[in-house]
Amino acid sequence: MNPIQEKFQRGELSVGTFTQLGSPIAVECLGRTGLDYVLIDTEHCAVGVEFLTAAITAADAAGITPLVRINEISRSAVLQPLDYGAQGLIVPAVETVEQVAELVRYAKFPPVGNRGYCPTRDGGWGFDDESLQGTETYFARCNRETLLIPQCETRGCLEHIDEITAMEGVDGIFVGPFDLSIALGIPMQFDAPAMKEAMARILEACRRNHKMAFIFCGDADTARQRAAEGYDSVTAGLDALMLTNAYRDMVRTIWS
């Protein structure tokens, strides 16, 4: 089972981070930290297919679950990371129920969706245990364990959050608090009543439909707060900023 799902079913928090450094070595290092997953960002980071495959392989080797944030809603953007072995997709800028239905078609095999099939790394090129048992077993495993997580960071997604979380094939929601606050006209005002109401609405919809609730957090203190509020998973920080801050602290210590 997907380790993130395992923790969710046990009522345990999962913790991850973004990688934007474009380095498989950085991904492998993150696997030595105790994090549950690494989120490979192709939305705000210019990465190619070669890095994506290398990063997913490095994550697997280091024992950390690889997720990918794709950069558009299209068949190739969904299919390729899954074929390479990504164990879940985060999809930004979702606005409508129709967009989510399209994502389900691309990301899930029949009978849930219509994902394209080819023997790829995802199924051990046809030689992993599930693949050898036949396509029905392989399809069921992928549909069950490959996560499809739309981001709620727009007014449209927020308005349709009940319908979206109720959809078969949707495994959870990833809250993007920065863009959501901008969409609500209260940039970075995370304690504003409208923002608190929106986030409570998202959490309630996830709970009602037994779907996972993820959220991005800028630091560890915020992550602890969000976990206490009931989020199932917190994605804390990103490696580029962590690296910068660590070296800034080192330099300050040397000069102090």
Residues known to be catalytic: 44
CA geometry: angle 215, 217, 221, nearest 5 deg: 125
Task: Please check whether residue 36 is in contact with residue 1, taking contact to mean a CB–CB distance below 8 angstroms.
Answer: no
CA distances from 57 to 3, 17, 69, 157, 194 (A): 16, 17, 16, 32, 41
SS3 assignment, position 216: strand
From the list 94, 95, 98, 77, the residue with the least C-alpha distance to 86 is 77
What is d(CA 83, CA 109) in angstroms, rounded to the nearest whole number?
12
CA angle 122, 124, 129 (to 5 degrees): 110
Comparing C-alpha atoms, which of 212, 221, 140 is closest to residue 173? Answer: 212
Asked if 226 and 200 count as a contact pair (C-beta separation under 8 A), the reply is: no
Give which of 70, 86, 170 is closest to 122, Cα–Cα. Answer: 86
User: What gap in Å lies between CA 215 and CA 190, rounded to an integer?
Assistant: 13
**What are the beta bridge partners of residue 16?**
37, 235
Residue 91: which H helix or E strand, with range?
strand 88-91
